[in-house]
Structure 1
């Protein structure tokens, strides 16, 4: 049977994305073991192939691998989320220009809808997309093509696991190819099956994805619910998951774990007010104002030897705003209300939500509206920070220290921040 599918998706997946972004700043890192560390330089969040081959696991605590890093000259870098967002947007813009419909799934993945490309060789078409992304962004990508989103994930996995067999693109367009792939793929590697479900599947004799398709639908429905029925249809090549349009941002959050626990009230206050400033900047970037501000603080829940405390408080604003001055005042009031002396604080954050467009603000008749008075100052401050570098112009309460706890930044990165306009991300980092 040689049936070809008319409905096709492609998954464009950036290879070792954060590491690949680091290599765009410093090409000498090519073919060397490289890892990227999380906020506060705590855990490994991205590894080059060379680092994986050394046995460095994902989420490895950096301090435990210091000796190995030294022995094998593993280069480690603080996460540069501004850069990753910037490079992601470049990849997305190139790829989506080739199709009518697309879905940004995460910072390093997007789906393309190739349905209707009846007279086009999809393999060659996607190879062209891959080459253009490589040439213009220097980010290597793998592209898996299949009739469903779940099978796209499988095709992409094949490309990455067998790089010498494929030129970065693999197409599963016949039942024979799908069957062969599913007989190879471990059930735990199927998109949507977690660790607990994998153990349950193994107990029932399901070790490969193909084994799941041999189970009666009643059994699948009992073990996995309607989600499982959709999954087996997806694995059979019957589309269940459509492309999702990006939902507008409903909130902006700036939250951090501190490198060291903070005890002094002014130290925590300065961090929280800085987070409020960053929320304000992001609001202005997308030309929106917020109507709600939330502040939270918490101690280290892993330190059983220390007293635990966490608290949060929200304030609804009389007039929507994106002024750093107004939001800073509100953040300070909320902080005063929830801070308690005598605790070791490990994490804090500011969240703003309930957005309205900047030019559609409804003003309370009973409150003085000073948003418009502040706006020219805020715009000037944003322009100067864009020109001279992040936090060069700031509110008096800010220390100007970076809030990510990122020690290992480079001059190339500082230059990148200064010379590029960075768009707001509309997806999750993971």
Structure 2
């Protein structure tokens, strides 16, 4: 039985590539992107990898190279990366019947209804068009299952002879040859401990796993690994998810730029996180029944007192109103805050989500209550519409203080070229 092909489009060195779109002078330079608060390297260009810089390297260890001009380290610019990811998706949607984002830089695409030749041609079209329309280089892997598509994408990226596009049919010699040369640890979903357990069964390569009996694998290991075996054999075992499927919980959290125990700063941070969570909640047309708030001290600072509390506050009724959610979050903060501690992180999580369009109303609702709910929905809709048109944060509840401790430290962030009017690129004569 033959199955429709699934493609995986993976953006190459995505964060660095986003920066290079607007700063061509960074091409061919060793470039690294730092984590929140400029702590460590979380993304590397090929040139930086070639210098031996590992993922997670503390930024201060590379400062000498930065001072010498040998490398460039930039602060994370997530607003830019998110917008560029959306642009990549828009290009893919022009050519594919279905697109499912897997991460900010990886997206699965459907190739339903195409024969092998047409599928390969379309994959090559995606490879060219994404680069042409967004400036982001990608590689494309195509196969009958997601696991094989992942391996095909890896081959397209690692092996120049594929020209950025690799298609595996699942039962051909090319698939077998690739699986024989692929270590178990490079198979999607096979972790280090599982590699060690499989080695005892003399299963050491992706091809060995592919040849294993699925039922035996299920009995000795798990149903998840059985699905991996079947996918390596070319049988898809999971449907593409609806990219608009609602999440079951929503969390917004962030590490602070510096430690703080100041109540006003913690309240401001919680207010911003609650507000952002409420925006996400409305975007997926849900209501929340409860709010969780947490604080964290730095467990690595043993010279400081440790205290990392959390508490859940039930809402009076399911809602997506920012005002109600913020009030509940602030109430939760007051319940867990204790003086004498310096916190490094705070967060808000919305729990027990329900579909806003299917929520059961009480028969005892008064006309005034129903009218208040309708006014709330109109107000929040207007707020979201203004922020969508004018930019996030244009209209918000409460003004954050400049240089507050909870703001991220991003001393080397580039402009948000595509989302902020005052940071648009300009052409000089």
TM range (shorter): 0.7 to 0.9
2:188 pairs, out of 187, 191, 195, with 191
Once the two structures are TM-superposed, the CA of residue 387 in structure 1 deviates from its matched residue by 6.9
What TM-score do the two structures reach when normalised by structure 2? 0.85
Change (3 A) 1:335 1:323: same
Equivalent residue pairs, number: 415
- SS across alignment from 2:420: helix
Matched, 1:17 2:14: yes
TM-score normalized with structure 1 length? 0.84
User: 2:78 maps to which residue?
Assistant: 81
Tell me if 1:249 matches 2:247. yes
Whether the aligned pair in 1 keeps the contact of 2:210 and 2:229 (CA below 8 Å) is: yes
Aligned residues of 1:387 and 1:418 also touching (Cα < 8 A): no
> Conserved in 2, the CA contact under 8 Å of 1:324 and 1:378?
yes
Deviation at 1:391, TM superposition (A): 4.2
Work out the CA distance in 1 between the residues paired with 2:407 and 2:276.
10
Alpha-carbon deviation of 1:342? 1.7
Q: 1:177 to 1:348 in 2, by over 3 A?
A: same
Residue 326 of structure 2 corresponds to residue 328 of structure 1: yes
Question: Separation in 1 of the partners of 2:143 and 2:111?
Answer: 10
Q: 1:113 to 1:378 in 2, by over 3 A?
A: closer
- Gaps (5+ residues) in structure 1? 421-430
**Which secondary structure state, in structure 1, belongs to the residue aligned with residue 314 of structure 2?**
strand
Residues 120 and 295 (structure 1), Cα distance of their counterparts in 2 relative to 1, 3 Å cut: same
Q: State whether structure 2 residue 154 is matched by structure 1 residue 157.
A: yes
Aligned positions of 1:306-321 closer than 5 A:
306-321=304-319
The residue number in structure 1 matching 2:290 is 292
Contact 1:273 1:398 in 2 (8 A): no
Contact 1:40–1:259, Cα closer than 8 Å, also in 2: yes
Q: d(CA) in 1 for partners of 2:241 and 2:391?
A: 36
Contact 1:322/1:371 (<8 A) preserved: no
Q: State how 1:162-177 maps to structure 2 within 5 Å.
A: 162=159, 164-173=160-169, 174-177=171-174
Q: Does 1:264 align with 2:262?
A: yes
1:50 counterpart (28, 42, 47): 47
The corresponding residue for 1:357 is 356
Q: Structure 2 regions of 5+ residues with no counterpart?
A: 424-429
Q: 1:398 aligns with which of 393, 397, 400?
A: 400
Look up the match of 1:103: 100
Report the RMSD for the aligned CA atoms in angstroms: 3.2
| Residue 224 to residue 393, structure 1, CA distance change in 2 (3 Å) | same
CA displacement at 1:376 relative to structure 2 = 6.7
User: Judging changes above 3 Å, is the alpha-carbon distance between structure 1 residues 415 and 148 closer, same or farther for their aligned structure 2 residues?
Assistant: closer
Q: 1:153·1:191 contact (CA, 8 Å) conserved in 2? A: yes
Contact 1:289 1:358 in 2 (8 A): no
Q: 2:172 and 2:348 mapped to 1: Cα distance? A: 51
Q: Does the alignment pair 1:29 with 2:26? A: yes
Residue 241 of structure 1: SS of its match in structure 2?
coil
Change (3 A) 1:201 1:287: closer
Determine the C-alpha separation between the residues in 2 that align with 1:7 and 1:220: 26
- Deviation by residue 1:384-419 (Cα, 9 ceiling, x = unmatched): 666776546544463255844333223x31663348
C-alpha contact 2:80 2:418 (8 A) present in aligned 1? no
Contact persistence 1:391–1:400 (CA under 8 A): no
The answer (yes or no) to whether the contact 1:390–1:418 under 8 Å persists in 2 is no
How far did 1:160 drift?
Answer: 0.9
Give CA-to-partner distance per residue, 1:337-373, whole Å, 9 cap, x none.
Answer: 1111122212111122424438979477479675655
